[in-house]
Amino acid sequence: MLDSEHAFVQTGEHMFGRILILATVAILVWAAFARSSDASGPERRHVVQPYETLWSIASEGYADPRQGVWEIKQRNGLIGATILPGQVLVLP
């Protein structure tokens, strides 16, 4: 027969296990939905217009167009600087 002190310890042990499981689930859910904290905002898409170049597109959104061209090329897997009208670029 268990006295009331031992019953409380067992209940406390069960409560600790439940809290541990709940904390683990909360961390996993947070990790699954966490977003980048670099304040970059959502990615934007840009449809290339006739006569546009990577330089002209980068000049609109970057203080240094050279950095913008590099980031656009990296983000879109471009090897060269050739883009075509109608092409959709993801802008970082």
CATH of the domain at 69: 3.10.350
pLDDT recorded at residue 10:
58
Share of the chain above pLDDT 90, in %: 47
Closest CA to 76 of 58, 88, 66: 88
- Which helix (H) or strand (E) segment is 88 a member of? strand 88-91
In this prediction, residue 22 has a pLDDT band, given cuts at 50, 70 and 90, of: confident
Task: Show the domain range for 87.
Answer: 44-91
| 3 alpha-carbon distance from chain centroid | 53
Q: Is residue 64 part of a domain?
A: yes
pLDDT recorded at residue 23:
84
pLDDT recorded at residue 8:
54
pLDDT recorded at residue 18:
83
Q: Is residue 63 part of a domain?
A: yes
Q: Of all residues in the chain, what percent are helix, strand and coil, respectively (each to 5)?
A: 55, 10, 35
Per-chain mean pLDDT for the chain:
82
Q: Is residue 39 part of a domain?
A: no
pLDDT at 38 exceeding the cut of 70: no
Domain check: are 81 and 54 in the same one? yes
